[in-house]
Each structure stands twice: as C-alpha cells, then as structure tokens.
Amino acid sequence: MMEIETVPDLVRPVVIAAFEGWNDAAESATAVVDHLMKVWDARVVAVIDPDEYYDFQVNRPVVGIDDNGFRKLNWPSTHVAVASPPDLDRDVILIRGIEPNMRWRQFTAELLSTIDDLGGELLITLGALLSDSPHTRPIPVSGSSTEPDLMDQLSLEQSTYEGPTGIVGVLQDACARIDLPAVSFWAAVPHYVAQPPCPKATLALLVRLEDLFETPIPLGDLPEEARAWERGVDELAEEDEDIADYVRELEESRDTVDLPEASGEAIAREFERYLKRRDDD
C-alpha cells in the first residue's frame, strides 16, 4: 500500500483528481490540477509505486536535470498532495497521475484507501474529450454525480454515455459502490485543435470547480492564455478556407442548440461569478 507522509488532520477534505492519457484531451484536465498545485501551494504526501501499474515501454521514465544541475530520473506514477486554500473552509487533496496500464482494480482500491486514510469526503474527477465544439464559443463542460443532491445543486444531468471508459469512469463506479460522494466534470475540446495545451478548456473546468465551491479560484494568467489560444486558432482558420467554413458550420449548429440558454439563469450565474471575483480583488 501507498505510504503517506505525516499529515495533520485535514478539515472536511475534498479530492480533485485528473489523469494523463485517454481521459485528458489536450492535457486540459491534468493542467487544472497542475494549476491548483501551484496556486494553493500543495505538498506531495504520497506516491504510488509505479512498478505495480505501469508498462515502462508505454510510459517511459524521463531523464531531466534537477535544481542542482544533476541528472535525475523521473518514473511515471500518481502523486497525492494536500493543500489548505485560504479562500475555502475546507482542505483539498489533489491527485495527479497517469492512467495505469494494468491492475486497474488494484490501483483504484489503493487510491481509494489513501483517500479514506486522509479523510476525503468528496471525490471530484476531471476529464477532457475531443468533440465537434467550435473554438470560438464557450467550452462545454458536462458533469455527472453519484449523488442525487449534488446533481440538483450543480444542475447536472444523468450521463447517458455507453461505451469504453477510462480510469476516471472506474473511480466513479468504485465510489458509488462504497458510498463515497463523487462528481465528474468533462470539458469538450475542439477536435481540430487537439494538440496541448488548451487553456480555454482548462479554464472552463476551473470555472465549474468555482461553481461547486461557490468561491473564486485564483486564475493567474489563464484567462489571457485562453484568449491568446483562441486568437491563434482564429489565425490558423483564416489561412485555410475549408477549416474556416467548417468552423462556421460548427458555430451555427452550436448557436442553434444554445440559443434558449443564452438568457435567464445562465446570465445570472455569470453575473454572480463576476461580482464574487470583483469583491475578492
């Protein structure tokens, strides 16, 4: 089992997890955890032994240079960190890893055991998938939960997806079996710009976390990076008439679907978020 460093008792900790691989289009989901690790000054307290779960010919170790100029070998693994965000009334457990190549059920059991040891009360998994969303419109974020109350609170719809799943889906299923409340958010990344990073999708997932916590999260340079990303894709589309036509078709289709939601509750929610962030500045 994973060894955990000594950690003071955490206050009603919520867990946020993301994994590289199938669940992480354009690395948008893991970028959220990377961002939170930085802005919340998280401390890694446990690391899963990679020998049990990873094929090193698929996920190879990486050689780098440490702060002292020495060569360092970094093995693929999954890290667990803790943080005490100043604007939240609870602590946070952050899990950032790579989807395992083998022994998924054992991996899941070990991770959930660690969450239990740290007192985790809610698991939030993050994912990103490729879709036919236009880059010029807000990135859609879908959500699901194992808890009906959370479904209502976050205005989520029950997922109707049927098909292959990744480690995020396996974790969600395991949470339901042990009665650990769980929420999953998925960002829809435009498939024609699938190369990482996609700061606009990362920002969209962070906004959903703000909705859940009802508290602004420090965003740093992400809003400007998202705008720069969109401008860059605009320029690429302008250079290719076929892509430009395709983007316009996606925009028309998206606007037709979203038109009824362009007022009322959606506008009120955005205005409330703006006021909260202004009050915190």
pLDDT in tens, 176-204: 999 999 999 999 999 999 999 999 999 99
Q: What residue spans define the domains of the chain?
A: 14-280
Output the average pLDDT for the chain: 90
Q: What SS3 state is found at 20? A: strand
Is pLDDT at 139 greater than 80 in this prediction? yes
Q: What is the DSSP letter of 139?
A: P
Q: What is the pTM of this model?
A: 0.89
Backbone torsions φ then ψ of 180, nearest 5 degrees:
-95, 115
Fold observed for domain 14-280: Rossmann fold (3.40.50)
In 133-275, DSSP assigns E strands to: 141-145, 182-190
- Side chain identity at 200, as an amino acid letter? K
pLDDT at 185: 95
Residue-wise pLDDT for 15-60, tens only, equals: 999 999 999 999 999 999 999 999 999 999 999 999 999 999 999 9
Q: What percent of the chain has pLDDT over 70?
A: 90
Top pLDDT among 171 and 265 is at: 171
pLDDT at 163: 87
Length of the chain: 281
Helices (H), 40-147: 104-117
pLDDT at 162: 82
Residue-wise pLDDT for 197-237, tens only, equals: 999 999 999 999 999 999 999 999 999 999 999 999 999 88
Q: What percent of the chain has pLDDT over 90?
A: 72
pLDDT at 263: 47
